[in-house]
């Protein structure tokens, strides 16, 4: 097939090919002196219209790409790499060391899920005969092998006469801004996902003072996160289940959220606020990710390092047991509380947590504690609606469990935190491109930036293309 020539190829430019006026599918193509560099290669997630985009042809020939730069290991930033590699991309994928380690866990897992989806569709009848996976575990392993670790702050060459360095972004372990210096000396800063100040375990977002062009995410560009003392809330719930002999089921995301919870539980125990309760992390992926957090010490913040220097493991409360084996997971069914089971997925729309919910929702000695936003259509969102029954894996069960939520946890900066980070710039970028947000969030952030900083901002549409020449 022919791939469209986007603009005269000798002119440095950026083309927005994903996460444009939507949150997922991050993909930005840089053309630098005729060379092509892709920043992030994410999966679209969400409704079927968005997911259908994952099956469309790339707007460029993957064989013609000269380099790929990755900001962090969430699937909406890396999840389409296996397809890119299967379709001919064979060169380096640059990322921080921790992002490389996390991608080696999450990409094969994503490949397995894609294969399971195809199997499920074939078994239950699909309009596509046969239904094929978007990519396979073997495609994902191949992509994972092309990762080249680049430590933060280190300046490295890119094709097209440019250089780049990663700067910690405070979002998840390994997350980074990609600061790209063009051949003419201009600086393009790609925020990836912007983290929050004071997040446990990982460093705060790096202060950036200068960029000629800025690409900024806007997931929460129109709102402020609720203010709450998450550790104190967790303490209350943990003490409650200890006194009542209940089981706490925590649907949790494997990367970031699970480690944060373990850290809070570790601190509560250290402070004498949490008696020794069995805590099961029932997820092979969350188990592997927790080990990656522990192995990438250079990414951890001062407080976490202080515990490590004292010989403590800040992600290991004393009752912690990692459950990898499926039979061991099933054996938890016959165990009574008090205990805490942390399992994926975070929205309870798959994974081992669904089996625990099926088993324990009818039991009033159960507390389900959600740890983040529950998207429409997920079991998590349904349970938040306080229904008396739920249909899980084809079975109708009574819901007698208590349903609670830790509402203040988020890995993304809110509007106030985005503005706080932007206010560190000493001069206005020539253009600030607002991406990775729903239109209303983007417009609210654009208005705020115009009002408070007076900067030129653009909300690019899909396929929009801008010159970066001086
Ligand atoms: Zn992310």
> What domains lie within the chain, and their CATH numbers?
13-223+411-467 (3.60.15.10), 230-405 (3.40.50.10890)
CA of 74 to the centre of ligand 1 (A): 5
CA of 235 to the centre of ligand 1 (A): 27
Whether residue 357 has a cis bond before it, omega within 30° of 0: no
CA of 171 to the centre of ligand 1 (A): 7
DSSP for residue 2: P
CA of 11 to the centre of ligand 1 (A): 30
- Dist. CA 174–CA 151, nearest whole Å: 9
Three-class SS of residue 337? coil
CA of 104 to the centre of ligand 1 (A): 16
pTM of the model: 0.93
Q: At what angle do helices 415-422 and 439-453 cross, to 10 degrees?
A: 40
CA of 436 to the centre of ligand 1 (A): 10
CA of 69 to the centre of ligand 1 (A): 15
Q: What is the dihedral of CA 31, 186, 442, 229, to 10 degrees?
A: 120
CA of 72 to the centre of ligand 1 (A): 7
Walk along the chain (470 residues) and give the pLDDT tens digit of each residue.
455 545 556 789 999 999 999 889 999 999 999 999 999 999 998 888 888 999 999 999 999 999 999 999 999 999 999 999 999 999 999 999 999 999 999 999 999 989 988 888 888 776 667 889 999 999 999 999 999 999 999 999 999 999 999 999 999 999 999 999 999 999 999 999 999 999 999 999 999 999 999 999 999 999 999 999 999 999 999 999 999 999 999 999 999 999 999 999 999 999 999 989 999 999 999 999 999 999 999 999 999 999 999 999 999 999 999 999 999 999 999 999 999 999 998 999 888 999 999 999 999 999 999 998 887 788 999 999 999 999 999 999 999 999 999 988 999 999 999 999 999 999 999 999 999 999 999 999 999 999 999 999 999 999 999 999 87
CA of 391 to the centre of ligand 1 (A): 30
CA of 333 to the centre of ligand 1 (A): 33
> Which residues neighbour 19 within 8 Å (Cβ) at sequence distance 6 or greater?
25, 26, 27, 40, 42, 76, 217, 435, 436
């Amino acid at each position: 097939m022919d791939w469209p020539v986007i603009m005269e190829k000798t002119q440095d430019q950026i083309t927005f090919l994903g996460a444009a006026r939507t949150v997922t599918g991050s993909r930005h193509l840089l053309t630098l002196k005729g060379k092509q560099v892709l920043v992030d290669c994410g999966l679209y997630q969400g409704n079927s219209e968005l997911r259908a985009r994952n099956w469309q042809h790339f707007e460029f020939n993957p064989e013609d790409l000269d380099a790929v730069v990755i900001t962090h290991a969430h699937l909406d930033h890396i999840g389409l790499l296996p397809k890119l590699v299967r379709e001919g991309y064979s060169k380096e994928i640059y990322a921080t060391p921790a992002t490389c380690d996390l991608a080696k866990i999450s990409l094969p897992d994503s490949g397995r899920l894609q294969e399971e989806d195809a199997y499920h569709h074939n078994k239950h009848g699909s309009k596509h005969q046969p239904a094929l996976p978007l990519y396979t575990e073997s495609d994902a392993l191949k992509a994972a092998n092309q990762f080249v670790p680049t430590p933060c702050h280190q300046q490295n060459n890119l094709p097209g006469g440019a250089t780049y360095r990663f700067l910690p972004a405070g979002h998840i372990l390994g997350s980074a801004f990609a600061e790209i210096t063009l051949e003419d000396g201009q600086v393009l800063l790609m925020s990836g996902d912007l983290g929050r100040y004071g997040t446990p375990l990982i460093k705060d977002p790096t202060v950036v003072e200068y960029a000629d062009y800025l690409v900024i995410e806007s997931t929460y560009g129109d709102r402020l996160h609720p203010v709450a003392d998450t550790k104190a809330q967790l303490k209350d719930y943990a003490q409650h289940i200890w006194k009542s002999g209940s089981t706490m089921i925590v649907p949790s995301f494997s990367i970031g959220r699970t480690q944060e919870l373990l850290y809070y539980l570790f601190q509560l125990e250290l402070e004498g606020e949490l008696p020794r309760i069995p805590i099961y992390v029932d997820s092979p992926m969350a188990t592997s990710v927790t080990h990656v957090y522990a192995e990438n010490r250079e990414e951890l913040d001062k407080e976490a390092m202080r515990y490590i220097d004292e010989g403590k493991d800040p992600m290991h409360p004393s009752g912690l047991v990692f459950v990898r084996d499926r039979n061991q997971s099933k054996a938890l069914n016959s165990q009574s509380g008090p205990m805490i089971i942390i399992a994926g997925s975070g929205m309870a729309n798959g994974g081992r947590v669904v089996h625990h919910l099926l088993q324990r929702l009818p039991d009033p000695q159960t507390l389900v504690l959600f740890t983040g936003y529950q998207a429409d259509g997920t079991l998590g969102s349904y349970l938040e609606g306080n229904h008396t029954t739920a249909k899980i894996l084809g079975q109708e069960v009574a819901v007698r469990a208590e349903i609670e939520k830790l509402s203040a946890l988020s890995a993304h900066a809110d509007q106030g935190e985005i503005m706080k980070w932007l206010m560190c710039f000493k001069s206005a970028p020539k253009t600030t491109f607002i991406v990775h947000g729903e239109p209303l969030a983007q417009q609210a952030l654009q208005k705020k930036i115009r009002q408070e900083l007076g900067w030129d901002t653009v909300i690019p549409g899909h396929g929009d293309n801008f010159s970066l020449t001086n």
